[in-house]
């Protein structure tokens, strides 16, 4: 229960604004926060609002056929339809969903758009520029991958176990006949960014490649002879002579195409 004669703490502190009533033209006072008040009393407001028309909600309903015609035959966008009918975009979207009308794909929409010749040229230039930039970046990255010796050695190391059983077999031959070659298939020696299997240790620029014939077919998609030719050509470019020896798999064991004596003779020919 409020005490009689109690004075509110903010009495007289609030600013009061003098206004006149819109209906009865009587002056009245309002506090500042209600400065938009137009009537002196509720009864005046009733008098004012009685004769006024209420806000009407316009109900528009399109049939499925009408909407389909606008969208697919007249090729209007959903935004355009909304503008034309006088509803919001979301209403049109809801109708489309309700009537299960398919919508245009991005490419179909893009075809409907008509750019001027200048705009098209501009867009083309922008696309070309970005494509070139991306291409340059990609090539730079590839070049780094294929020319950085550290990266190549690392990759070869992780690629597979080295030496392979075939390489081990060849190492045995080298040891047995005391040939001046050493194993380097683990990426320790790179000639023109490519890694041969064996290199000569007595100073001659000779390297040896060993390959199982089936590997060429499966991994390179080319014949072993083709692979050998490319390999020899590559090392030749850098001033190296390359010998290629093929092997094949027989009963889960590798066997060289040439016999041991033939291999040794071929190597001794060069060194």
Check binding of 30 to Zn ion (CB under 5 A): no
Backbone angles phi, psi at 239, to 5 degrees: 80, 25
Tokens 């089936």 sit on residue: 214
| Residue closer to Zn ion (CB basis): 44 or 264 | 44
CA distances from 234 to 178, 190, 191, 230, 246 (A): 28, 12, 9, 6, 18
How many other β-carbons are positioned within 10 Å of the β-carbon of residue 210?
22
State the minimum distance, in angstroms, from the CB of residue 25 to Zn ion.
Answer: 7
**Closer CB to Zn ion, 26 or 129, in the complex:** 26
Give the one residue of 17, 24, 101, 112 binding Zn ion; rule: CB under 5 A: 24
Binding residues for Zn ion restricted to 42-81, rule: CB under 5 A: 44
By the rule CB under 5 A, 21 interacts with Zn ion: yes
φ/ψ of 160, rounded to 5, equals -160, 170
**CB 20, min distance to Zn ion, A:** 9
CB 259 within 8 A of CB 243: no
Q: Which of 19, 40, 82, 187: binder of Zn ion (CB under 5 A)? A: 40
Told to check if 126 binds Zn ion by CB under 5 A, we report no
Question: Toward Zn ion, which CB reaches closer, 21 or 173?
Answer: 21
Strand partners of residue 28: 19
In this complex, which beta carbon is closest to Zn ion, that of residue 22 or of residue 190? 22
Comparing CB distances to Zn ion, the nearer of 40 and 247 is 40
CA–CA separation, 187 and 159 (whole Å): 11
Q: Which residues bind Zn ion (CB under 5 A)?
A: 21, 23-24, 40, 44
């Amino acid at each position: 229960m409020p005490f009689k004669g109690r004075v509110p703490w903010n009495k007289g502190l609030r600013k009061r604004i003098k206004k006149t009533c819109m209906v009865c033209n009587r002056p009245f006072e309002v506090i500042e926060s209600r400065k938009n008040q137009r009537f002196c009393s509720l009864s005046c407001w009733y008098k004012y609002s009685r004769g006024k028309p209420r806000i009407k909600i316009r109900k528009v309903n399109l049939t499925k056929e009408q909407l389909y015609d606008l969208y697919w035959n007249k090729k209007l966008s959903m935004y355009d339809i909304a503008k034309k009918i006088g509803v919001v975009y979301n209403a049109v979207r809801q109708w489309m969903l309700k009537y299960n009308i398919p919508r245009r794909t991005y490419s179909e929409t893009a075809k409907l758009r008509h750019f001027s010749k200048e705009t098209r040229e501009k867009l083309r230039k922008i696309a070309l520029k970005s494509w070139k930039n991306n291409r340059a970046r990609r090539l730079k990255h590839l070049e780094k991958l294929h020319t950085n010796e550290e990266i190549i050695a690392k990759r070869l190391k992780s690629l597979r176990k080295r030496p392979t059983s075939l390489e081990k077999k060849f190492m045995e031959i080298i040891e047995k006949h005391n040939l001046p070659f050493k194993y380097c298939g683990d990426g320790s020696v790179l000639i023109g960014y490519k890694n041969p299997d064996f290199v000569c240790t007595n100073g001659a620029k000779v390297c040896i490649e060993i390959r199982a014939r089936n590997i060429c077919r499966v991994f390179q998609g080319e014949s072993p002879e083709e692979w050998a030719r490319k390999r020899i050509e590559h090392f030749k470019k850098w001033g190296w002579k390359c010998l290629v020896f093929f092997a094949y798999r027989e009963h889960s064991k590798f066997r060289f195409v040439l016999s041991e004596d033939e291999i040794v003779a071929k190597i001794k020919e060069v060194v």
